[in-house]
Amino acid sequence: MGLPRDGRNGRTDRLSQAEFISYEPATGVELWRGKAGDVDATVDRARRAFPAWASQPLATRIELCRRFANEVRKGQDKLAELIARETGKPLWEARTEVESVIAKVDISVTAYAERTGQKKLDSALQGTAAVRHKPHGVMVVLGPYNFPAHLPNGHIVPALIAGNTVVFKPSEKTPAVGEFLVGCFHRAGIPAAVVQLLIGGPTEGQALVAHADVDGVLFTGSARAGIAINRKLASNPGKIVALEMGGNNPIIVLDTPKVTDAAALIVQSAFTSAGQRCTAARRLIVKASMYDAVVDEVKNIADRIIFDEPFADPAPFMGCVIDNEAADQLGESFLYLLSHGGKAIKHMSRPDEGKPFVSPALIDVTALDEKPDVELFGPLLQVVKVDDFDAALAEANNTRFGLSASLIGGTPQDYNKFWAGIRAGIVNWNRPTNGASSKAPFGGIGLSGNHRPAAFYAADYCAYPVASTEMDQPRASVGVGLRAERRRKRRTAKDDEQTAVAKKSD
């Protein structure tokens, strides 16, 4: 893992095989340092803790998770400040993330009851047919840096409610938030071995994925890392794997009189969280008749966006990206698109080369013969002009990803066509591509996921169904395929005596 060019800003640096150090991306100030965890010892503790945790009544596990929500609530200001400092996102956005962490518990309780409920069908002769669910065992949660509390929490809480033990490895870029989150679980009374923090980078992550005593891997991150996990475990069908990856998400604009509203939705989709959301709009596909009005208004709003450090006054719309390496890559991507036929609508600027702040950028890529099908994880929006709806839909589906897609404008009939024809797991109309509800499933197809959606459907991959038929006493007979039974006289003691006398006389 290389250093950023200034050696500090926005990076968690591995100082040795045993220690990491995290800096605030917006300031370069050291925030946290700690040692890498022992994978084997951590997994072993989780394995030994599993039977006792799984045998706890469901009501007990739920109550402890609710206590966790209360612990987060008690420390929500401190956690929000920590998230803002370690990610560089504005404080207002960090506060909404903390609120999502708290709300996740009740949502997960409801989801577990709905998605994994027990069923019984009674029959006098056949006994009882039952469906119940069991936890998998030791679950590894690999967290991202963009929502370092909310997204891993969305795996951890459902896993705990189901009866699994959890080893949580936060992103090496946000270890301080991970440590705080796990501390809340422990202060709530959940045993230390049931939820464990494992500090580490790719080496520790790979070791956790491959560990023989790990029963499941719950991952949120890039498609590249997710594909590597999938490939590693392809020959091991016994290990549950949920991959929540990124997107090259389209937002289509058809005819609408509400140009300003459309532009606001586009800006929210593309530039919230400095574009560091897996559901962020990466491609704006505009019908030619709407192009000039919509693009001009998007640029007008983007030009006014305040991007600054998390605690600035006035509050910024967005902060920096996670580190200088990410900022450099975004700048290089903009130049690549520009040099291959792209037309700059709004240039990407870097006010301070020593810090990872980049301005929102817009580039028209209509003329590119081959548009790169990659996730550019930052505030860079590519614009494509098309003649009609059919061309827009074809362009939107011209991707290996399939996470989120939105249609702006059009008629109800247009939306029906869009919903039926678009390849995505989240499909919206006159709403942003991001901001998905935790009360619905969250996931995509293609390179965006492996058909195991998270959020409300996380319960599905945290427990497996067990079908049973049950009777109090054994009762059975074989009624077909047997020869007729020869009836035998029951032998008595007198019969045995007569047989013995006959043998003597012989």
**Rounded CA separation 263/170 (Å):** 35
Task: Decide: 252 and 418 in contact? Cβ < 8 Å.
Answer: yes
Task: Using the Cα atoms of residue 275, residue 277, residue 283 and residue 287 in order, give the sign of their dihedral.
Answer: negative
Beta bridge partners of 344: 363
Task: Using the Cα atoms of residue 58, residue 61, residue 63 and residue 66 in order, give the sign of their dihedral.
Answer: negative
- Annotation says 244 is catalytic: yes
What H or E segment, with its residue span, contains residue 384? strand 380-386
Rg from Cα positions in the chain: 29
Residue the block writes with tokens 């995509």? 444
Which backbone phi and psi does 168 adopt, to 5 degrees? -105, 115
What lies within 8 Å, CB to CB, of 18 at 6+ separation is: 35, 36
Task: Using the Cα atoms of residue 291, residue 295, residue 298 and residue 301 in order, give the sign of their dihedral.
Answer: negative
What H or E segment, with its residue span, contains residue 225? helix 223-232
Which one of 71, 244, 297, 395 is the catalytic residue?
A: 244
CB neighbour class for 125 (10 Å; exposed up to 12, middle 13-18, buried from 19): exposed
**Rounded CA separation 356/25 (Å):** 7
Which one of 65, 184, 278, 320 is the catalytic residue?
A: 278
Catalytic residues: 244, 278
